[in-house]
Structure 1
Amino acid sequence: MRLRHDGWMLAVSLLLAPLIWFVFNHTALDQAMIAPYYDAHSRSFPWRSDPFMQTVMHDGLKMIVVAVGVVVFGGFVLTYIIPQWRHHRRPLIWMLVAIAGSTELVSLLKHVSGMHCPWDLAEYGGYAPFERLFEHMPVTGGGRCFPGGHASGGFSLMAFYFGLRHVHARRAQIGLVVALALGMAMGWAQMIRGAHFLSHNVWSAWVVWTFMAMLYHLCPPHVARPSTPEDAEFNGS
């Protein structure tokens, strides 16, 4: 199997970054998307402490992501027990690093971020002024609410796309769709609660994809082997 050039993955990140920044920094899209979940009369987000949103959409979906990570780790351990699974060892450990590394990177960015959650903003009954991305440098005691951490859990499952794309293209594509859908669902749940804006979740997806694209470029989950006469015959050469 000869690995193709995959520089387009990083190119996508470079092209999308200014577009995402422009859309959210020069429009009121964030406010428009979160407006249906804010009650102006009570000056609060009614779904913030809803049991379903907290137990199922927050804790439950997070546990699903954790369970997937445990299964991947279990598969990795089994590659040392089942000889026939040895060739799965590298992609499995790659996916583990991608899942853990991308979510930890988002967590680190949140920790140093000066941006607040919607429910902390004065226009939504809180105390802090609204600031756009890069409007001010992070300051001590900032909001620590950007990018979206909960959504990053779902987006981290994009690791399956990168880990499978050269051996099971169809499964990789399905994995990508599922990861994006789960990440947006987890992010949307936080929007409903007033915990994040849409931009927080979109940037979270961007951070996760960019991290994995760089990891894929520097240390791919599959090692290309030299082409053989059989490969040439198969490819019609």
Structure 2
Amino acid sequence: MQQKTAGEQRTGWGHVGLLMLFGVFIVYLNRYTRIDFDVADWFYSSAQHAFPLQHQWWAEQLLHNRLKHLSTVLWFALLVWMLAQRYVRKAGWSHAAVFVLISSVLSAAVVSLLKTRSLHSCPWDLQTYGGQSTWLPLFYDATDNDLSQAGSGKCFPSGHASVGLMWLGVLFLPRIRRALAWPEGRYQRTLSIAVVLLSLVVCVVQLVRGAHFLSHVLATLWLCWVISLSVSWVYARLFVVYSRPYCYSSQSNSKNKMGESLCQPLSVPKDQPSLP
């Protein structure tokens, strides 16, 4: 493995800095602006005292329930496919599948855990939109009275948004491509476009149904982004760079684009700094 240049190091830390700024922006948007309510107002009908699209079949059943089931089926299908790839000893594809499986399940699990412990209620449960609950900003030091009026909560971050955003690991595959010995650009664009489109659909459908505020889905995006980036770094460093890729007779002498043998462990210079 070639030593990273100063420019590559700055890019890595720049990614971390961008994530920190994005996290601060989400908190600012929720606490100090009315953007959340302005967006929700677009889809709320004061005449009906409800969100008209909340129970529409295409929104509730097709793009909410069935998309959630589809994402679950895709995860298990990828798991079976990964096991099949390992059986036929196609190491590059196997490593790629393991990385996406790990990053996706961690993203979904973390979002789900935080949601179950959340005090924040959904827009359709708030008094502003015909419900009974009181709105609480992020990191608000709530009193006992505030908590008694906050309702059932469990609406932050957006759990359904993670149905699409859990697959953000696909966008980070280029970060570990060299270690995976994966052909450059192969299916990457198609998979990336599919993930972005799926993420947009699941995020927007929750906004139009009144299920979540904009800050809720952005928080899910931030969490899945952080988890995917972290797993891509840890996976490449610990599970690929320091391990010997699978070798088999038909490719025992194969080399990647850098001229490195696919059957040799990739070494890391001792003076190379750790990068995100």
The TM tier, using the shorter chain, reads: 0.7 to 0.9
Tell me what 1:91 maps to.
Answer: 96
Indicate whether 1:39 and 2:45 are aligned: yes
Residue 152 (structure 1) aligned to one of 130, 149, 162: 162
Q: Are residues 75 and 9 of structure 1, via their aligned partners in 2, closer, same or farther at CA, if it must alter by over 3 Å?
A: farther
Amino acid of the structure 2 residue aligned with 1:163: L
Structure number with greater Rg is 2
**Offset at residue 142 of structure 1 (A):** 4.3
Selected match of 2:105 from 82, 100, 106: 100
> What SS does structure 2 have at the residue aligned with 1:219?
helix
Which residue of structure 1 aligns with residue 54 of structure 2?
A: 48
**SS at 2:95's partner residue?**
helix
Give the whole-Å Cα distance in 2 for the aligned partners of 1:174 and 1:10. 26
Instruction: Say if 2:5 is the partner of 1:23.
Output: no
Aligned twin of 2:201: 185
2:77 to 67, 71, 92: 71
Superposition TM-score, scaled by structure 1 size: 0.84
Tell me the distance in 2 between the aligned counterparts of 1:204 and 1:56: 21
Find the residue that maps to 2:168 and give its secondary structure: helix
Q: Could you list the runs of 5+ residues in structure 2 that have no partner in the other structure?
A: 243-254, 261-276
Query: Which residue of the partner structure matches residue 118 of structure 2?
Result: 113
SS at 1:39 equivalent: coil
**Deviation at residue 100 of structure 1 after TM alignment:** 0.7
CA apart distance, 1:161 = 1.5
Tell me, yes or no, if the aligned pair for 2:115 and 2:155 is still in contact at 8 Å.
yes
Which has the larger displacement, 196-205 or 24-33? 24-33
Q: Name the counterpart of 2:250.
A: none
Q: How do residues 159-178 of structure 1 correspond to structure 2 at under 5 angstroms?
A: 159-165=169-175, 166=177, 167=182, 168-169=184-185, 171-172=187-188, 174-178=190-194
Structure 1 residue 147, shift from structure 2 partner: 0.4
CA deviation string 1:133-179 (max 9, x = no partner): 11236969740000011111101111112234524347445544432
Count of aligned residue pairs for this structure pair: 230
Taking the aligned partners of 1:163 and 1:111, their CA distance within structure 2 comes to 30
Deviates further, 131-140 or 44-53: 131-140
Structure 1, unpaired ranges of 5+? none
CA-CA distance at 1:88 after TM superposition: 2.4
